[in-house]
Amino acid sequence: MSLHDIDKEVYDITIVGGGPVGLFAAFYSGIRNMKTKLIEALPHLGGQLSALYPDKYIYDVPGCTKILAQDLVKRLEEQAMQVNPTIRLNERVVALRRLDEKLIELETTKGLHYSKTVLLTTGMGALSMKKLGIPSVDRFEGRGVYYSITNKWMFRDKKVIIVGGGDSAVDWALNLKDIASEVILVHRRAGFRAHEAKVIELFHSNVRVLIPYVVKDAHGTEKLESVTLTNVETGEEVTLETDCLIPQIGYEMNNSLYKSWGLDMDEHGIRVNGKMETNIPGVFAAGDVASPVDSPKLNLIAIGFAQAIIAVNCAKHYIDPSSPIFPGYTVKLR
Protein backbone atom coordinates (compact mmCIF):
# COMPACT_ATOMS: atom_id res chain seq x y z
CA MET A 1 0.00 0.00 0.00
CA SER A 2 1.58 3.31 -1.08
CA LEU A 3 1.51 6.50 0.98
CA HIS A 4 -0.93 8.21 -1.36
CA ASP A 5 -3.48 5.54 -0.38
CA ILE A 6 -3.42 6.75 3.23
CA ASP A 7 -5.59 9.71 4.19
CA LYS A 8 -3.98 10.77 7.46
CA GLU A 9 -6.58 13.48 8.04
CA VAL A 10 -8.82 12.57 10.97
CA TYR A 11 -12.54 13.13 10.42
CA ASP A 12 -15.18 13.60 13.10
CA ILE A 13 -17.43 11.04 11.47
CA THR A 14 -17.02 8.64 8.56
CA ILE A 15 -20.22 7.29 7.07
CA VAL A 16 -19.95 3.91 5.38
CA GLY A 17 -22.69 3.55 2.79
CA GLY A 18 -23.98 6.14 0.32
CA GLY A 19 -27.63 5.13 0.14
CA PRO A 20 -30.48 7.41 1.23
CA VAL A 21 -29.75 7.05 4.96
CA GLY A 22 -26.02 7.65 4.47
CA LEU A 23 -26.66 10.73 2.33
CA PHE A 24 -29.02 12.22 4.88
CA ALA A 25 -26.57 11.43 7.68
CA ALA A 26 -23.85 13.27 5.74
CA PHE A 27 -26.10 16.31 5.50
CA TYR A 28 -27.09 16.24 9.15
CA SER A 29 -23.54 15.76 10.42
CA GLY A 30 -22.60 18.79 8.33
CA ILE A 31 -25.13 21.02 10.03
CA ARG A 32 -23.74 19.80 13.34
CA ASN A 33 -20.36 21.15 12.20
CA MET A 34 -18.76 17.73 12.02
CA LYS A 35 -15.96 17.08 9.56
CA THR A 36 -17.59 14.38 7.46
CA LYS A 37 -16.45 11.70 5.04
CA LEU A 38 -18.70 9.27 3.18
CA ILE A 39 -17.36 6.03 1.67
CA GLU A 40 -19.46 4.11 -0.86
CA ALA A 41 -18.56 0.76 -2.46
CA LEU A 42 -20.46 1.47 -5.68
CA PRO A 43 -19.20 3.93 -8.30
CA HIS A 44 -22.23 6.15 -7.63
CA LEU A 45 -24.33 7.36 -4.72
CA GLY A 46 -27.83 6.11 -3.96
CA GLY A 47 -27.21 2.52 -2.89
CA GLN A 48 -29.95 0.05 -3.75
CA LEU A 49 -32.26 2.83 -4.97
CA SER A 50 -29.83 3.64 -7.79
CA ALA A 51 -28.48 0.14 -8.40
CA LEU A 52 -31.63 -1.98 -8.28
CA TYR A 53 -34.75 0.09 -8.91
CA PRO A 54 -34.13 3.69 -10.02
CA ASP A 55 -37.44 3.75 -11.92
CA LYS A 56 -39.51 2.48 -9.01
CA TYR A 57 -41.87 4.83 -7.20
CA ILE A 58 -41.55 5.25 -3.43
CA TYR A 59 -44.74 6.20 -1.60
CA ASP A 60 -43.79 6.45 2.07
CA VAL A 61 -41.32 9.36 2.12
CA PRO A 62 -42.81 12.22 4.18
CA GLY A 63 -43.81 15.20 2.08
CA CYS A 64 -43.86 13.25 -1.19
CA THR A 65 -47.09 11.84 -2.60
CA LYS A 66 -44.85 9.55 -4.60
CA ILE A 67 -41.30 9.94 -5.86
CA LEU A 68 -39.08 7.98 -8.21
CA ALA A 69 -36.15 6.34 -6.43
CA GLN A 70 -33.66 8.10 -8.70
CA ASP A 71 -35.29 11.48 -8.01
CA LEU A 72 -35.14 10.90 -4.25
CA VAL A 73 -31.42 10.09 -4.57
CA LYS A 74 -30.86 13.26 -6.57
CA ARG A 75 -32.57 15.41 -3.93
CA LEU A 76 -30.69 13.75 -1.08
CA GLU A 77 -27.40 14.18 -2.92
CA GLU A 78 -28.11 17.88 -3.53
CA GLN A 79 -29.02 18.30 0.14
CA ALA A 80 -25.84 16.57 1.34
CA MET A 81 -23.54 18.50 -0.99
CA GLN A 82 -24.61 21.78 0.66
CA VAL A 83 -22.34 20.93 3.61
CA ASN A 84 -19.39 19.75 1.48
CA PRO A 85 -18.67 16.26 2.82
CA THR A 86 -15.68 14.34 1.47
CA ILE A 87 -17.00 11.62 -0.84
CA ARG A 88 -15.09 8.46 -1.74
CA LEU A 89 -16.79 6.27 -4.38
CA ASN A 90 -16.00 2.81 -5.70
CA GLU A 91 -14.21 2.03 -2.44
CA ARG A 92 -15.25 -0.85 -0.21
CA VAL A 93 -14.44 -0.97 3.50
CA VAL A 94 -12.78 -4.29 4.32
CA ALA A 95 -11.63 -3.75 7.91
CA LEU A 96 -12.47 -1.60 10.93
CA ARG A 97 -9.98 -1.24 13.77
CA ARG A 98 -10.30 0.82 16.96
CA LEU A 99 -6.80 2.17 17.56
CA ASP A 100 -7.51 4.01 20.79
CA GLU A 101 -10.35 5.62 22.73
CA LYS A 102 -11.08 8.25 20.10
CA LEU A 103 -9.51 6.98 16.86
CA ILE A 104 -10.81 4.38 14.41
CA GLU A 105 -8.94 3.12 11.36
CA LEU A 106 -10.90 2.03 8.30
CA GLU A 107 -9.15 -0.04 5.68
CA THR A 108 -10.71 0.00 2.21
CA THR A 109 -9.89 -1.54 -1.13
CA LYS A 110 -7.96 1.65 -1.90
CA GLY A 111 -6.31 2.66 1.35
CA LEU A 112 -6.62 3.76 4.97
CA HIS A 113 -8.94 6.34 6.56
CA TYR A 114 -9.06 7.70 10.11
CA SER A 115 -12.07 8.91 12.04
CA LYS A 116 -13.21 9.71 15.57
CA THR A 117 -16.53 7.97 14.96
CA VAL A 118 -18.02 5.73 12.29
CA LEU A 119 -21.64 5.42 11.17
CA LEU A 120 -22.59 2.29 9.23
CA THR A 121 -25.48 2.89 6.82
CA THR A 122 -24.84 -0.02 4.48
CA GLY A 123 -28.44 -1.12 4.02
CA MET A 124 -28.90 -4.87 4.13
CA GLY A 125 -25.17 -5.51 3.88
CA ALA A 126 -23.59 -7.36 0.97
CA LEU A 127 -26.67 -8.28 -1.05
CA SER A 128 -27.30 -10.63 -3.91
CA MET A 129 -30.65 -11.43 -5.41
CA LYS A 130 -31.99 -14.88 -4.52
CA LYS A 131 -31.98 -17.10 -7.58
CA LEU A 132 -34.65 -19.64 -8.42
CA GLY A 133 -31.97 -22.31 -8.68
CA ILE A 134 -33.45 -23.85 -11.83
CA PRO A 135 -30.81 -24.60 -14.53
CA SER A 136 -33.17 -23.93 -17.43
CA VAL A 137 -33.99 -20.52 -15.93
CA ASP A 138 -30.36 -19.68 -15.21
CA ARG A 139 -29.32 -20.16 -18.83
CA PHE A 140 -31.63 -17.33 -19.93
CA GLU A 141 -30.34 -14.77 -17.42
CA GLY A 142 -29.91 -11.53 -19.34
CA ARG A 143 -31.82 -13.04 -22.29
CA GLY A 144 -35.33 -12.83 -20.86
CA VAL A 145 -34.66 -13.58 -17.19
CA TYR A 146 -33.91 -10.50 -15.05
CA TYR A 147 -33.32 -10.37 -11.31
CA SER A 148 -32.91 -6.59 -11.15
CA ILE A 149 -34.45 -3.76 -13.15
CA THR A 150 -32.63 -0.53 -13.95
CA ASN A 151 -34.80 0.55 -16.88
CA LYS A 152 -38.48 -0.33 -16.74
CA TRP A 153 -39.05 0.84 -20.32
CA MET A 154 -37.20 -2.19 -21.66
CA PHE A 155 -40.42 -4.09 -20.88
CA ARG A 156 -42.64 -1.91 -23.08
CA ASP A 157 -45.17 -4.07 -24.95
CA LYS A 158 -43.62 -7.28 -23.54
CA LYS A 159 -45.33 -10.24 -21.90
CA VAL A 160 -43.91 -10.28 -18.36
CA ILE A 161 -44.08 -12.88 -15.59
CA ILE A 162 -43.05 -11.73 -12.11
CA VAL A 163 -42.40 -14.23 -9.32
CA GLY A 164 -42.82 -13.41 -5.63
CA GLY A 165 -45.18 -12.08 -2.98
CA GLY A 166 -43.14 -9.38 -1.27
CA ASP A 167 -42.98 -5.63 -1.79
CA SER A 168 -40.55 -5.81 -4.73
CA ALA A 169 -42.66 -8.31 -6.66
CA VAL A 170 -45.93 -6.46 -6.10
CA ASP A 171 -44.37 -3.03 -6.72
CA TRP A 172 -42.89 -4.11 -10.03
CA ALA A 173 -46.15 -5.73 -11.10
CA LEU A 174 -47.93 -2.42 -10.47
CA ASN A 175 -45.13 -0.38 -12.07
CA LEU A 176 -45.11 -2.43 -15.25
CA LYS A 177 -48.86 -3.02 -15.69
CA ASP A 178 -49.28 0.03 -17.94
CA ILE A 179 -45.99 -0.48 -19.80
CA ALA A 180 -45.94 -4.20 -20.61
CA SER A 181 -48.56 -5.76 -22.86
CA GLU A 182 -49.35 -8.25 -20.09
CA VAL A 183 -48.17 -8.74 -16.51
CA ILE A 184 -48.63 -12.01 -14.63
CA LEU A 185 -47.69 -12.31 -10.96
CA VAL A 186 -46.90 -15.83 -9.75
CA HIS A 187 -46.91 -16.58 -6.03
CA ARG A 188 -46.67 -19.87 -4.19
CA ARG A 189 -49.20 -19.05 -1.45
CA ALA A 190 -52.32 -16.98 -0.81
CA GLY A 191 -50.65 -14.77 1.79
CA PHE A 192 -48.53 -11.84 0.63
CA ARG A 193 -45.64 -10.19 2.50
CA ALA A 194 -46.15 -6.95 0.56
CA HIS A 195 -47.81 -3.90 2.11
CA GLU A 196 -51.53 -4.55 2.41
CA ALA A 197 -52.50 -1.41 0.47
CA LYS A 198 -50.36 -2.55 -2.47
CA VAL A 199 -51.90 -6.02 -2.39
CA ILE A 200 -55.39 -4.50 -2.53
CA GLU A 201 -54.29 -2.33 -5.47
CA LEU A 202 -52.83 -5.41 -7.16
CA PHE A 203 -56.10 -7.34 -7.03
CA HIS A 204 -58.00 -4.34 -8.40
CA SER A 205 -55.57 -3.91 -11.31
CA ASN A 206 -55.20 -5.60 -14.69
CA VAL A 207 -52.36 -7.78 -13.38
CA ARG A 208 -53.16 -11.48 -13.66
CA VAL A 209 -52.36 -13.22 -10.36
CA LEU A 210 -51.64 -16.95 -10.34
CA ILE A 211 -51.80 -18.64 -6.91
CA PRO A 212 -50.47 -21.11 -5.71
CA TYR A 213 -47.88 -21.66 -8.44
CA VAL A 214 -44.10 -21.95 -8.70
CA VAL A 215 -41.76 -21.89 -11.68
CA LYS A 216 -40.74 -25.38 -12.81
CA ASP A 217 -38.97 -24.82 -16.11
CA ALA A 218 -38.04 -22.25 -18.76
CA HIS A 219 -37.94 -22.81 -22.53
CA GLY A 220 -36.50 -21.12 -25.57
CA THR A 221 -33.67 -21.17 -28.09
CA GLU A 222 -31.67 -17.94 -28.20
CA LYS A 223 -33.90 -16.20 -25.67
CA LEU A 224 -36.71 -16.99 -23.22
CA GLU A 225 -39.93 -17.97 -24.98
CA SER A 226 -42.10 -19.71 -22.38
CA VAL A 227 -42.25 -20.77 -18.74
CA THR A 228 -43.81 -23.86 -17.16
CA LEU A 229 -45.54 -23.37 -13.80
CA THR A 230 -46.64 -26.00 -11.28
CA ASN A 231 -49.59 -25.72 -8.93
CA VAL A 232 -48.12 -26.57 -5.50
CA GLU A 233 -51.43 -28.02 -4.27
CA THR A 234 -52.62 -30.07 -7.24
CA GLY A 235 -49.42 -30.68 -9.20
CA GLU A 236 -51.12 -29.34 -12.33
CA GLU A 237 -48.71 -27.81 -14.85
CA VAL A 238 -49.30 -24.93 -17.22
CA THR A 239 -46.95 -23.48 -19.83
CA LEU A 240 -47.24 -19.78 -20.66
CA GLU A 241 -45.63 -17.89 -23.51
CA THR A 242 -43.65 -14.94 -22.22
CA ASP A 243 -40.91 -12.52 -23.18
CA CYS A 244 -39.56 -11.89 -19.69
CA LEU A 245 -39.35 -13.60 -16.32
CA ILE A 246 -38.56 -11.40 -13.30
CA PRO A 247 -37.96 -13.39 -10.08
CA GLN A 248 -38.33 -11.16 -7.01
CA ILE A 249 -38.04 -13.65 -4.18
CA GLY A 250 -35.79 -11.70 -1.86
CA TYR A 251 -32.13 -11.20 -1.13
CA GLU A 252 -29.30 -13.22 0.29
CA MET A 253 -27.28 -11.27 2.84
CA ASN A 254 -23.64 -11.80 3.72
CA ASN A 255 -22.84 -10.05 6.99
CA SER A 256 -19.76 -12.11 7.82
CA LEU A 257 -17.57 -9.05 7.31
CA TYR A 258 -19.27 -7.22 10.18
CA LYS A 259 -18.69 -10.19 12.48
CA SER A 260 -15.00 -10.18 11.57
CA TRP A 261 -14.85 -6.56 12.76
CA GLY A 262 -16.13 -7.67 16.17
CA LEU A 263 -19.63 -6.22 15.80
CA ASP A 264 -22.46 -7.88 17.71
CA MET A 265 -24.95 -9.31 15.21
CA ASP A 266 -28.35 -10.98 15.28
CA GLU A 267 -30.52 -12.37 12.50
CA HIS A 268 -31.70 -8.85 11.60
CA GLY A 269 -28.39 -7.00 11.42
CA ILE A 270 -25.99 -5.11 13.67
CA ARG A 271 -27.35 -4.82 17.20
CA VAL A 272 -27.74 -1.21 18.39
CA ASN A 273 -29.17 0.47 21.48
CA GLY A 274 -31.47 3.49 21.60
CA LYS A 275 -28.53 5.78 20.77
CA MET A 276 -27.78 3.68 17.66
CA GLU A 277 -24.53 2.62 19.32
CA THR A 278 -23.01 -0.76 18.46
CA ASN A 279 -20.94 -2.77 20.92
CA ILE A 280 -17.79 -1.03 19.64
CA PRO A 281 -17.41 2.45 21.22
CA GLY A 282 -17.59 5.19 18.61
CA VAL A 283 -19.22 2.95 16.00
CA PHE A 284 -22.90 3.56 15.22
CA ALA A 285 -25.36 2.00 12.77
CA ALA A 286 -28.58 3.26 11.20
CA GLY A 287 -31.08 2.14 8.60
CA ASP A 288 -31.70 -1.40 7.38
CA VAL A 289 -28.34 -2.64 8.67
CA ALA A 290 -29.23 -1.69 12.26
CA SER A 291 -31.11 -4.06 14.56
CA PRO A 292 -32.50 -2.12 17.56
CA VAL A 293 -32.49 -4.31 20.66
CA ASP A 294 -35.37 -2.50 22.38
CA SER A 295 -37.73 -1.50 19.58
CA PRO A 296 -39.34 -3.04 16.49
CA LYS A 297 -37.19 -3.29 13.36
CA LEU A 298 -38.91 -1.51 10.47
CA ASN A 299 -36.94 -1.37 7.23
CA LEU A 300 -38.31 1.95 6.00
CA ILE A 301 -36.39 4.90 4.61
CA ALA A 302 -38.25 7.24 6.97
CA ILE A 303 -37.11 5.19 9.97
CA GLY A 304 -33.54 5.23 8.65
CA PHE A 305 -33.60 9.03 8.41
CA ALA A 306 -34.67 9.31 12.06
CA GLN A 307 -32.03 6.80 13.15
CA ALA A 308 -29.39 8.76 11.23
CA ILE A 309 -30.28 11.91 13.19
CA ILE A 310 -30.05 10.04 16.50
CA ALA A 311 -26.72 8.45 15.53
CA VAL A 312 -25.14 11.71 14.35
CA ASN A 313 -26.23 13.65 17.45
CA CYS A 314 -24.96 10.91 19.73
CA ALA A 315 -21.69 10.72 17.78
CA LYS A 316 -21.27 14.48 18.24
CA HIS A 317 -21.77 14.09 21.98
CA TYR A 318 -19.40 11.10 22.04
CA ILE A 319 -16.63 13.23 20.51
CA ASP A 320 -17.38 16.25 22.69
CA PRO A 321 -19.35 15.46 25.88
CA SER A 322 -19.93 19.20 26.41
CA SER A 323 -21.90 19.32 23.17
CA PRO A 324 -25.64 18.66 23.66
CA ILE A 325 -27.16 15.61 22.04
CA PHE A 326 -30.13 17.71 20.95
CA PRO A 327 -28.85 20.91 19.35
CA GLY A 328 -32.27 22.49 18.93
CA TYR A 329 -34.22 22.94 15.74
CA THR A 330 -32.38 23.54 12.48
CA VAL A 331 -33.13 27.00 11.16
CA LYS A 332 -30.20 27.48 8.80
CA LEU A 333 -27.13 25.71 7.48
CA ARG A 334 -23.77 26.32 9.04
Model confidence over 235-252: pLDDT tens digits?
999 999 999 999 999 776
The CATH class of 3-127+252-319 is alpha beta
pLDDT (tens digit per residue) in 248-274 = 997 766 678 899 999 999 988 999 999
Position 128 confidence tier, pLDDT thresholds 50, 70, 90: low
Which residue type does 122 have? T
pLDDT over 70 at 1, yes or no: no
CATH number of 131-249: 3.50.50.60
pLDDT value, residue 18: 95
> Are both 3-127+252-319 and 131-249 of the same fold?
yes
**Lowest mean pLDDT across 59-63, 102-106, 199-203, 286-290:** 59-63
State the average pLDDT over residues 117-136. Answer: 85
Between the alpha carbon of residue 244 and those of residues 125, 135, 162, 210, 250, the distances in Å are: 28, 16, 8, 16, 18
Domain parsing of the chain, residue ranges = 3-127+252-319, 131-249
Q: What is the pLDDT of residue 104?
A: 97
Give the up-direction half-sphere exposure of residue 118: CA atoms within 13 A in the CB hemisphere.
27
Integer Cα distance of 147 and 126 in angstroms:
16
Computed over every residue of the chain, the mean pLDDT equals 92
> Which of 50-64, 79-93, 183-197, 216-230 is the least confident region?
50-64
